[in-house]
Amino acid sequence: MSTSRIKVGIVGGTGYTGVELLRLLSQHPGVQLHAITSRKESGLPVADMYPNLRGHVSLCFQTPEDAALDQCDVVFFATPHGVAMQQAPALLQHDVRIIDLAADFRLQDTDAFEHWYKMPHSCPAVLRDAVYGLPELDRDRIRQARVVGNPGCYPTTVLLGLAPVLQAAQPLVDVGHIIADSKSGVSGAGRKAQVGSLYAEAGDNFSAYGVAGHRHHPEIAECLTRIAGTPVGLTFVPHLVPMIRGMFSTLYLRILPDALDTDFQALYENRYANEPFVDVMPAGSLPQTRSVRASNMLRIAVHRPAGSDTLVVLVVQDNLVKGAAGQAVQNMNLMFGLPETTGLQQVAILP
């Protein structure tokens, strides 16, 4: 094991983003897995909880006290909201960089954070220096970041699906009335024992949730406003799909009268021409979530049904990869000067 490898710690490796991080990092050529903490499971071999890791990960879960996380180069937090901000200041003092897969460092507006997550923010100073970890929007700042707030799964699809339009040189759409109809696989709810995520509840069933308000709404809105340079009105309705992984966002935008001649296909292709993990599909394409299953790719298709003034943008990703663990590794690669795609070029699993 080379000493030049990045020494990685994971806090809270028992959930789905945790096991997904382990899948990716255990095969990442530039990483040395140093420690995985779980107070509850301390002593248990990680591969006993996740038998897919048998033969790949030999670590046991450790208590935070035993894990010596301050010796890591980077620590991923795959924890409930509120954990990372408790531990961040101490780790930063040891020059450990932090990538939080929860929400602690996503929202610069601490009032919004407190409203949606029902807790005060314990380190607003750290938050101010934190960078929102969407590489396609903010690659350069991520490279320099000490703390990255890894984006939520829904925001990743909506923001990357809207960025080309909102960042265009002139106004193209009615930014006051954007609609994001999003659909997520059940793994997005995590590995928590809760009735709504049971097979017999979520299976053979389709439903909306959070229509009156969802935590990802302020996160999306804050970023949309930042990239559009103007307040953005967003209606966001998330839905639950009976599938394990996968996320699909259908975005509806009204094209402004002066912009009806825009070549939106070209706009998207140009915007993402050099992005390794954003695939603008050919005109007329109908992306499927399985085309990105277990990969870090996000695919976009741009439609304008019947030539109307409504633009329809279809976005797919794997909510656990580009929507969580894969994007976190992509951020790590940037922060440590590795090629951005290192350890992230798996082919999606189909069927």
Q: Which residues are catalytic?
A: 153
> Identity (one letter) of the amino acid at 66?
D
How open is the CA angle 149-150-155, to the nearest 5 degrees? 110
Output 123 or 180, the one with its CB closest to a copy of itself: 180
CB 90 → a copy of itself: shortest distance, Å?
31
Output 50 or 105, the one with its CB closest to a copy of itself: 50
| Gap between the Cα atoms of 72 and 53, Å rounded | 22
- What φ, ψ does residue 124 adopt, rounded to 5°? -60, -25
Output 17 or 87, the one with its CB closest to a copy of itself: 17
| Gap between the Cα atoms of 134 and 14, Å rounded | 24
CB 191 → a copy of itself: shortest distance, Å?
6
- What φ, ψ does residue 261 adopt, rounded to 5°? -90, 0
Neighbours of 17 (CB within 10 A): 28
Q: Are 247 and 182 within 8 A, CB to CB?
A: yes
Q: Are 267 and 207 within 8 A, CB to CB?
A: no
> Mind giving me the DSSP string for 111-140?
HHHHHHHSS--S-HHHHHH-EE--HHHHHH
| Gap between the Cα atoms of 84 and 96, Å rounded | 13
CB 125 → a copy of itself: shortest distance, Å?
31
Output 92 or 179, the one with its CB closest to a copy of itself: 179
Output 85 or 316, the one with its CB closest to a copy of itself: 316
| Gap between the Cα atoms of 138 and 132, Å rounded | 8
Decide: residue 200, CB within 10 A, 0-12 exposed, 13-18 middle, 19+ buried.
exposed
CB 169 → a copy of itself: shortest distance, Å?
25
CB 303 → a copy of itself: shortest distance, Å?
5
CB 146 → a copy of itself: shortest distance, Å?
30
How open is the CA angle 161-268-186, to the nearest 5 degrees? 25
Output 284 or 337, the one with its CB closest to a copy of itself: 284
Compute the chain's Rg from CA coordinates. 20
> Identity (one letter) of the amino acid at 213?
G
